[in-house]
């Protein structure tokens, strides 16, 4: 979003790197190599700190070492949940940062990852819900041409145009590809959404979304229902 001039709503002090590897030994080899460049392990099992530059990085491994969509760090009794990493990064967006080319999740992929992260730890991941809403709020303008060309059926014939609902619907359609390739992702995402649209007054997502907004809980749930509709339409483009 930043490349389109939309500044982030909050800052982060660390940089996360998702790396596909085949063993914990391979992970430890990478950590040791980074130690030669001043990145030293801290207490958290996947976190390194560089004192010279005051930078924290998280190395988030995934790949053959996954078991039940988690990576276990042996004696540290810590599980890293990696559900969705592989699937989302199979269809990345390429971004140039100065002279480097990096691959990052697309916005629909980011919504999926953030929903999974929130559902893992809803008591401490409210910021993920804020990020999802921010994506919905800007998605219409960021993808206007694509929406008009390929998703004009989402425009109401009589009612007033609601950009947020259209954005949520199209994001759902785009994100459905990740549900189609993974039953685990499909089950997790649909359960999370269903749990938050069945009873408006008990929707944790809607309650978080209406904070600092002049919205009703009902309207927030309607946006979430549009996202669900896009997911289950199974219309990818």
- Bridge partners of 62, per DSSP, are 20
Show contacts of 11-14: CB within 8 Å, 24+ apart: 13/56, 14/47, 14/55, 14/56, 14/57, 14/58
175-195 pLDDT, tens digit each: 999 988 888 889 989 999 999
53-89 pLDDT, tens digit each: 889 998 877 776 655 556 555 544 444 556 767 788 8
Would strands 55-63 and 70-72 be described as parallel, antiparallel, or unpaired? unpaired
Q: What is the predicted pLDDT for the residue at 145?
A: 95
Cα separation values, 7 from 76, 145, 206, Å: 37, 22, 24
The C-alpha atoms of residue 8 and residue 152 are separated, in whole angstroms, by 29
pTM exceeds 0.85 for this model: no
Q: Edge-to-edge, what's the strand order for the sheet holding 55-63?
A: 14-21, 55-63, 47-50, 39-41
Q: What is the predicted pLDDT for the residue at 78?
A: 47
Q: What is the predicted pLDDT for the residue at 235?
A: 45
The C-alpha atoms of residue 68 and residue 150 are separated, in whole angstroms, by 37
DSSP 69-95: TEEE-GGG--EEE-TTHHHHTTS-EEE
Q: What is the predicted pLDDT for the residue at 47?
A: 87
Q: What is the predicted pLDDT for the residue at 200?
A: 94
CA-CA-CA-CA dihedral for 157, 158, 161, 167, to nearest 10: -40
Low-confidence stretches of the chain (pLDDT < 70) are: 9-12, 64-82, 84, 234-237
Q: What is the predicted pLDDT for the residue at 4?
A: 75
């Amino acid at each position: 979003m930043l490349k389109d001039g939309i500044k982030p709503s909050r800052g982060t002090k660390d940089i996360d790197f998702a790396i596909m590897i085949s063993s914990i030994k391979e992970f430890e080899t990478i950590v040791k190599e980074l130690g030669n460049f001043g990145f030293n392990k801290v207490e958290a099992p996947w976190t390194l700190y560089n004192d010279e530059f005051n930078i924290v990085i998280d190395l988030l491994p995934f790949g053959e070492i996954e078991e039940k969509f988690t990576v276990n760090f042996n004696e540290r009794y810590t599980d890293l949940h990696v559900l969705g990493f592989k699937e989302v990064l199979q269809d990345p967006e390429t971004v140039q940062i100065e002279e480097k080319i990096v691959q990052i999740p697309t916005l629909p992929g980011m919504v999926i990852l953030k929903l999974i992260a929130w559902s893992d730890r809803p008591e401490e991941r409210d910021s993920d819900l804020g990020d999802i809403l921010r994506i919905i709020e800007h998605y219409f303008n960021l993808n206007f041409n694509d929406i008009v060309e390929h998703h004009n059926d989402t425009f109401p014939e009589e009612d007033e145009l609601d950009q947020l609902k259209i954005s949520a619907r199209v994001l759902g359609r785009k994100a459905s590809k990740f549900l189609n390739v993974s039953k685990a992702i499909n089950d997790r995402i649909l359960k999370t959404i269903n749990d938050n649209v069945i009873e408006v007054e008990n929707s944790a997502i809607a309650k978080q979304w209406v904070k600092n907004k002049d919205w009703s809980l009902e309207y927030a749930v309607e946006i979430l229902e549009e996202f669900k509709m896009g997911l289950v339409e199974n219309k990818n483009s």
